[in-house]
Amino acid sequence: MGRVQDRVVIVTGGAGGIGAAASRAVAAEGGKLVVADLDAAAAANVAQEIVDAGGEATSIRVDVTDRAQVKAMIAAAIDSFGELNVIFNNAGMNRPRGFMDVDEENFDQIVRVNTWGAIVCTQEAARQMIAQGKGGKIVNTGSIASRQAFWDFVPYCVAKFGILALTQATARGLIEHGITVNAFAPGVVDTPMWIGLNEDIRAIHDQPIEADPMREFATGTLVGRAAAPEELTPFLVYLASPESDYMTGQMYMVDGGQVLV
Ligand SMILES: NC(=O)c1ccc[n+]([C@@H]2O[C@H](COP(=O)([O-])OP(=O)(O)OC[C@H]3O[C@@H](n4cnc5c(N)ncnc54)[C@H](O)[C@@H]3O)[C@@H](O)[C@H]2O)c1
The atom number, within ligand 1, closest to the CA of 190 reads 1
Q: What is the mean pLDDT of residues 144-160?
A: 98
* pLDDT tens for each residue of 171-194: 999 999 999 999 999 999 999 998
Please tell me the distance between residue 6's alpha carbon and the centre of ligand 1 in angstroms: 26
% of the chain exceeding 90 in pLDDT: 98
> 236: Cβ below 6 Å to ligand 1?
no
Phi and psi, residue 32, nearest 5° = -105, 115
Rg (CA), the chain: 18
Under the banding of pLDDT at 50, 70 and 90, the label for residue 156 is very high
pLDDT on residue 242: 98
Under the banding of pLDDT at 50, 70 and 90, the label for residue 144 is very high
> 92: Cβ below 6 Å to ligand 1?
yes
pTM: 0.98
Please tell me the distance between residue 133's alpha carbon and the centre of ligand 1 in angstroms: 31
**Mean of the per-residue pLDDT values of the chain:** 97
- d(C-alpha 134, C-alpha 111), whole Å: 32
CB-CB contact of 111 with 33 (8 Å): no
Q: What is the mean pLDDT of residues 91-115?
A: 98
Residues 6+ apart with CB under 8 A from 60: 34, 35, 36, 40, 43, 72, 73, 76
Among 19, 66, 14, 3, residue whose Cα is nearest residue 40? 14
- d(C-alpha 209, C-alpha 198), whole Å: 9
pLDDT on residue 194: 86
Q: Where are the domains of the chain?
A: 8-189+229-254
> 143: Cβ below 6 Å to ligand 1?
yes
Q: What is the mean pLDDT of residues 160-164?
A: 98
* pLDDT tens for each residue of 181-240: 999 999 999 999 988 999 999 999 999 999 999 999 999 999 999 999 999 999 999 999
* pLDDT tens for each residue of 12-49: 999 999 999 999 999 999 999 999 999 999 999 999 99
* pLDDT tens for each residue of 129-139: 999 999 999 99
According to CATH, the topology of domain 8-189+229-254 is Rossmann fold (3.40.50)
